[in-house]
Chain A
Amino acid sequence: MNKKQKTLLWRIIIAAIFWVPLFLISEDIVHVDLPKIAVIILFLIPYLLVGYDILKKACHGIRHGRVFDENFLMAIATIGAIVLGEYGEGVAVMLLYQVGELFQSYAVGKSRRNITELMDIRPDYANLEQEDGSIEQVDPDEVEIGSVIVVKPGEKIPLDGVIVEGSSALNTSALTGESKPRQVEPDDDVLSGSINMSGVLRIRTTTEFEESTASKILDLVENAASRKSKSENFISKFAKYYTPIVCYCALALAVLPPLFIMLTQGTAGIAAVWGEWILRACTLLVISCPCAVVISIPLSFFAGLGGASNQGVLIKGSNYLETLSQVKVMAFDKTGTVTKGNFAVTAVHHSPLDDEGLLEYAALAECHSSHPISRSLKEAYGKEIDPNRVSDVQEISGHGVIAKVDDKEVAIGNERLMNKIGAEYRRCSHVGTIVHVALDGEYCGHIVIADELKENSKEALAELKKAGVNRTVMLTGDAKAVAEKVAAEVGFSEYRAELLPADKVACVEELLAACGGKDKLAFVGDGINDAPVLSRADVGIAMGALGSDAAIEAADVVLMDDDPLKISKAIKISRKCLGIVKQNIVFALGIKLICLVLAAVGIANMWVAIIADVGVMILAVLNAIRCLFVKKL
Chain B
Amino acid sequence: MKKSYKIEVDCVNCANQMEEAAKNTPGVKNCSVSFMTLKMKVEFDEGADVAAVMQDVRANCKKVEEDCEVYI
Contacts and interface: CB of A to CB of B under 8 A. Distances in A.
Interface of A: 4, 53, 56-57, 60, 64, 66, 69-70, 105, 108, 112, 115-116, 222-223, 225-228, 236, 239, 291, 294-295, 298-299, 301-302
By secondary structure, the A interface counts as helix
Q: Which of B11, B36, B37, B66 has the most CB of A within 10 A?
A: B36
A105 B10 CA distance: 7
B66 A294 contact: no
Contacts of B12: 236, 294-295, 298
A57 B67 contact: yes
Interface of B: 4, 10-13, 16-17, 32-39, 41, 63-64, 66-67
A330 to B, nearest CB: 29
Contacts of A57: 66-67
A298 B38 CA distance: 12
Given A70-B13, A239-B13, A298 B64 contact: no
Contact of A222 (B4, B16, B17, B67): B4
A291 B17 CA distance: 15
A70 B33 CA distance: 20
By secondary structure, the B interface counts as mixed
Given A60-B66, A64-B64, A66-B64, A222 B13 contact: no
Nearest to A70: B13
A302 B64 contact: no
Contacts of B39: 222, 225-226
A299 B37 contact: no
Given A57-B67, A64-B64, A222-B4, A302 B36 contact: yes
A112 B38 CA distance: 9
Contact of B41 (A4, A66, A226): A226
13 contacts: A53-B67, A57-B66, A69-B13, A222-B37, A222-B39, A225-B34, A225-B39, A226-B39, A236-B16, A294-B13, A295-B12, A301-B36, A302-B36
Given A236-B16, A295-B11, A295-B12, A112 B36 contact: yes
A228 B11 CA distance: 16
A456 to B, nearest CB: 32
A294 B17 CA distance: 13
Contacts of A295: 11-12
A56 B65 CA distance: 11
Contacts of A105: 10
Nearest to B34: A225
Q: Which of B12, B13, B37 has the most CB of A within 10 A?
A: B12
A226 B32 contact: yes
